[in-house]
Amino acid sequence: MSDAPAPTIPFSGLTRLDHVGIACRDLDASIEFYRRTYGFEVEHEEVNEEQGVREAMLRINGTDDGGATYLQLLEPTRPDSPVATFLDRNGEGVHHLAFGTSDVAGSAATVGARDVRVLDREPRHGTLGSRIVFLHPKDCGGVLTELVQSAG
């Protein structure tokens, strides 16, 4: 075994699973499924025109960084949006994972220095007043990955 010290990997600043994004064709029907099956309730709904989605956030649990973990249900608002394209190709299902951070720009820069394409040059508007960036799924083991900094 080598006596060489293990290389130090800079901390990415990601401290929770913030949400799992699920693509659906009918938001109200999907909300009803999660309410009826698991008893989860909607904490927040909004339309994000930039991303082309109508979405609902269902809070699952608090996290030890003071944040929370959600299911995010996503219905496309237009046929050329990322979620509409995903539904056409794959049908309904898990669309992305989102990791929480207190510094989305810093976390994106750290991860981007590790041969992962960051899809947004600047953080964009996300749900609940958050700031978000996406990472390319082909650089993340086939998983579209979002980094999210909560508001406040």
Catalytic residues: 19, 55, 72, 96, 146
With binding defined as CB under 6 A, does residue 132 bind ligand MC0?
yes
Size of the site for ligand MC0 (CB under 6 A): 26
**Span near ligand MC0 by CB under 6 A; candidates 9-17, 32-40, 103-111, 130-138:** 130-138
With binding defined as CB under 6 A, does residue 145 bind ligand MC0?
no
With binding defined as CB under 6 A, does residue 134 bind ligand MC0?
yes
Give the SS3 label for residue 107: helix
Show contacts of 105-112: CB within 8 Å, 24+ apart: 105/133, 106/13, 107/12, 107/13, 107/14, 107/147, 108/133, 108/135, 108/147, 110/10, 110/11, 110/12, 110/13, 111/12, 111/135, 111/147
With binding defined as CB under 6 A, does residue 30 bind ligand MC0?
no
Residues that bind ligand MC0 (CB under 6 A): 21, 48, 51, 53, 55, 72, 74, 82-83, 85-86, 89, 95-96, 98, 119, 126-127, 130, 132, 134, 137-138, 142, 144, 146
